[in-house]
Amino acid sequence: TDPALIRNFCIIAHIDHGKSTLADRMLQITGVVDDRSMRAQYLDRMDIERERGITIKSQAVRLPWDGHVLNMIDTPGHVDFTYEVSRSLQACEGAILLVDAAQGIEAQTLANLYLAMNADLHIIPVLNKIDLPAAQPEKFAEELAGLIGCDPSDVLKVSGKTGEGVRELLDHVVNSVPAPIGNADAAARALIFDSVYDTYRGVVTYVRVVDGHLGKRERILMMSTNATHETLEIGVISPEPKPADLGLGVGEVGYLITGVKDVRQSRVGDTVTSAAKSATDMLAGYEHPKPMVFSGLYPIDGDEYPELREALDKLQLNDAALVYEPETSAALGFGFRVGFLGLLHMEIVRERLEREFGLSLISTAPNVVYRVVMEDGKELTVTNPSEFPAGGKVAQVFEPVTKSTILAPSEFIGAIMEICQGRRGQLLGMDYLSEDRVEIRYTLPLGEIIFDFFDQLKSRTRGYASLDYEPAGEQEAELVKVDILLQGEPVDAFSAIVHKDKAYAYGVDMAKKLRELIPRQQFEVPIQAAIGARVIARENIRAIRKDVLAKCYGGDISRKRKLLEKQKEGKKRMKMVGRVEVPQEAFVAALSTE
């Protein structure tokens, strides 16, 4: 295709503002998907995306329109998947910034706009859902125009649901998004913006060609690793993969398959060139996403450990952001310490492990990464609270912080500040987006956000506040490790790193919770919360006075046997902590973040 006829754009927005639905209408209006095969959120192809109604992976599709070729990329909106969005942006020259006409600008609207501006994209402001009775297109057109510095009349108005205004939007894309520019005669250079493992086809690599041409049955070179492969298939997605025998030229977006089995051999951000005629300079790639949140994952049935390892290996083929290493817990047995991009990513990985691989798992409470400097100058990185060094040898502890942005109606300013202050937030600034909508910026420790911050924020603002955050380095903090001991034995899975002002509350809560959850034993079981050797909270589980069997009087043998068998069954799901039997459910319940 002549690059002059190509337009590459993505759809970006806050979650639920209708990106995937607008993409649906574009698929339909351009005739790529016929009415009979159409289903809502067509491009959300994973089961988990469909069930949760959210987009996790970006999807690129080629759409024919008015003699042009449009490559559209639908992106995820959730903050955990920002790295997906920023990758997609680099394959485009334009971005449709979509805003729900009944909601207005939200936190991820801003975050995504800034990403698009940084990538130098042409931005098309669009209000969506104008069919809603609650839509206020005039008001929000003004807000949006104020944000990006254009005239309110430049803001397009559409309904992804009814299709109103979508043809005009496609025309606008053709007329306003710049055509890609590249050197057709130069050595081939294509940017890998996504890489997905498919059971049948191996790794499918998504590329945007910048210079030159990539053909079928060509030896290609991955510039960062110097590995060469042969392209077995090359093509475009429209909306299913369609081989393109002529290959891909300047400005085109498509896929290639080389038969490799591991996404790490086809790294996102790498530059693909031709082995016979190689480019010398790589394209600017991406920073590798860094895990922000860690949690221990253990099989409920210890025999499933090999299956868990295999499942993680397989998932990682498809999710380069997932990292893990084996760890052992005295309480939970063999498992893995797994790093995630955020809590939603964590939930999704866990759900996929359970669903796609049939595993039952316990996960420990999530924590962030700490940098600990010892008095002798040694440094360690702690991803598991139980490895936090005890005692007085610790000189300094650093925790990750975020720059967080909260958008809400101005009536909630007080409530929002109260929540943030309660979590060691430092106010950075505040701006009014309109008379009654405000943007509040805070520095907040990541560790304070990953628990119930968002829930709190939502409930204190009746659902009106939205949150976005980005990593902003680290800060020194007075953090301590709180251990939980059963009969004097620390239970590693329950150790937590908390700010010293919250240590007491954490200890008391956890001890109380466990007293409710752990059944009485033949002997008394003290539960203690301690910082080092100092006990800060204590509860007791009293001993059972009578043997359960005493209930079965005399010679009722069969009843007695039944009872014993039942006990045995129950025991299988017990974990021993010292002499104390702790039911599996107690771990699950005590570790749940709700």
Q: Is 14 annotated as a binding residue?
A: no
Stretch that binds ligand GDP, among 126-134, 208-216, 289-297, 566-574 (CB under 6 A): 126-134
Least gap, CB of 193 to Mg ion (angstroms): 18
Q: Rule CB under 6 A: choose which of 8, 33, 77, 266 binds ligand GDP.
A: 77
62 binds, among ligand GDP, Mg ion, none (CB under 5 to 8 A by kind): none
Stretch that binds ligand GDP, among 129-137, 206-214, 264-272, 362-370 (CB under 6 A): 129-137
Q: Is 128 annotated as a binding residue?
A: yes
17 binds, among Mg ion, ligand GDP, none (CB under 5 to 8 A by kind): ligand GDP
Measured from each CB, the residue nearest to ligand GDP is: 18
- Which residue, 133 or 554, is less far from ligand GDP as judged by CB? 133
Least gap, CB of 157 to ligand GDP (angstroms): 10
DSSP result, 378-421:
-EEEESSGGGSPPSTTEEEEEEEEEEEEEEEEGGGHHHHHHHHH
Which residues, other chains included, contact 362 with Cβ-Cβ below 8 Å and sequence gap of 6+? 297, 298, 299, 300, 332, 584, 587, 588, 591
Q: Is 129 annotated as a binding residue?
A: yes
Q: Which residues are near Mg ion by CB under 5 A?
A: 19-20, 55
When asked if residue 218 is in the footprint of ligand GDP (CB under 6 A), the reply is no
Q: Where are the alpha helices (DSSP H) in 47-123?
A: 47-52, 82-89, 107-118
Stretch that binds ligand GDP, among 14-22, 267-275, 290-298, 573-581 (CB under 6 A): 14-22
C-alpha span between 292 and 367 (Å, rounded)? 9
Q: Rule CB under 6 A: choose which of 8, 20, 109, 402 binds ligand GDP.
A: 20
C-alpha span between 513 and 504 (Å, rounded)? 14
365 near 593, Cβ under 8 Å?
yes
Q: Is 237 annotated as a binding residue?
A: no
Q: Rule CB under 6 A: choose which of 3, 16, 472, 589 binds ligand GDP.
A: 16
- Which residue, 128 or 384, is less far from Mg ion as judged by CB? 128
590 near 484, Cβ under 8 Å?
no
Q: Would you call the peptide bond into 306 cis, given omega within 30 degrees of 0 as the criterion? A: no
Please tell me the number of Cα atoms within 13 Å of 2 on its side-chain side.
Answer: 4
Q: Rule CB under 6 A: choose which of 128, 258, 329, 364 binds ligand GDP.
A: 128
Q: Is 131 annotated as a binding residue?
A: yes
Q: Rule CB under 6 A: choose which of 19, 87, 213, 513 binds ligand GDP.
A: 19
- Which residue, 19 or 25, is less far from Mg ion as judged by CB? 19
Of 209, 316, 311, 198, the residue nearest 258 (C-alpha)? 198
**The residue type at 253:** V
Q: Is 17 annotated as a binding residue?
A: yes
Least gap, CB of 239 to Mg ion (angstroms): 15
514 near 484, Cβ under 8 Å?
yes
When asked if residue 112 is in the footprint of ligand GDP (CB under 6 A), the reply is no
C-alpha span between 407 and 126 (Å, rounded)? 19
When asked if residue 531 is in the footprint of ligand GDP (CB under 6 A), the reply is no
When asked if residue 55 is in the footprint of ligand GDP (CB under 6 A), the reply is yes
When asked if residue 46 is in the footprint of ligand GDP (CB under 6 A), the reply is no
8 binds, among Mg ion, ligand GDP, none (CB under 5 to 8 A by kind): none
159 binds, among ligand GDP, Mg ion, none (CB under 5 to 8 A by kind): ligand GDP
342 binds, among ligand GDP, Mg ion, none (CB under 5 to 8 A by kind): none
C-alpha span between 34 and 531 (Å, rounded)? 64
For 511, the enclosing helix (H) or strand (E) is helix 500-517
Of 336, 362, 339, the residue nearest 293 (C-alpha)? 339
C-alpha span between 233 and 198 (Å, rounded)? 14
Q: Rule CB under 6 A: choose which of 7, 8, 12, 21 binds ligand GDP.
A: 21
Paired strand residues for 192: 207
When asked if residue 163 is in the footprint of ligand GDP (CB under 6 A), the reply is no
471 binds, among ligand GDP, Mg ion, none (CB under 5 to 8 A by kind): none
When asked if residue 30 is in the footprint of ligand GDP (CB under 6 A), the reply is no
Q: What is the 3-state secondary structure (H, E, C) of 175-203?
A: HHCCCCCCCCCCCCEEEEEEEEEECCCEE
Of 120, 51, 44, 124, the residue nearest 81 (C-alpha)? 44
Q: Rule CB under 6 A: choose which of 1, 28, 41, 228 binds ligand GDP.
A: 41
C-alpha span between 332 and 415 (Å, rounded)? 40
Of 461, 456, 453, the residue nearest 437 (C-alpha)? 461
Sign of CA dihedral 190, 192, 194, 197: positive
Q: Is 18 annotated as a binding residue?
A: yes
Sites for ligand GDP among residues 131-150 (CB under 6 A): 131-132
Q: Is 20 annotated as a binding residue?
A: yes
The residues that touch ligand GDP, with contacts defined as CB under 6 A, are 13, 15-21, 41, 53-55, 77, 128-129, 131-132, 159-161
Binding residues: 16-21, 128-131
Binding residues for GTP: 16-21, 128-131
